[in-house]
Amino acid sequence: MPDCIFCKIVAGQIPAKLVYQDEQVLAFHDISPGAPVHVLIVPRRHIESLAALTEEDAAVMGHLLAAAEPVAQLAGVAASGYRVVFNVGRDAGIAVYHLHAHLLGGRKLSWPPG
């Protein structure tokens, strides 16, 4: 996807503060953190949104979710706790159309979220 900012991060064309990477996913610090720890986990392959998932994406999505705990360990919040969120659509404030999980922690997180 030529104009996708997260594809550019995956390709190394835009810098990011990497936390974790493997053959299928990349995790990097959010540029505008909403909590002391705010990491984005993205598939290397461009998938537009949670709303665009197909059966073909099942393996990479399972892998992405399984990466959350090692990412949380690397970010130092595995013991204290963290939240993993996917935004979909306008009411959730979606801004980037390359699927990403937000991993948030480092403070008490309110529930329900705002």
Q: Enumerate binding residues for Zn ion (CB under 5 A).
A: 1, 4, 6-7, 46, 98
Region of residue 45 (left: phi > 0; alpha: psi -120 to 50; beta: else): beta
Comparing CB distances to Zn ion, the nearer of 1 and 78 is: 1
Active site residue 63: no
Amino acid 21 reads: Q
Strand ranges across the sheet with 18-21: 18-21, 25-29, 37-43, 101-105, 82-85
Query: Pick from ligand AMP, Zn ion, none: which does 16 bind, CB < 5 to 8 A by kind?
Result: ligand AMP
Q: Applying CB under 6 A, which residues contact ligand AMP? A: 5, 14, 16, 30-32, 40, 87, 93-96
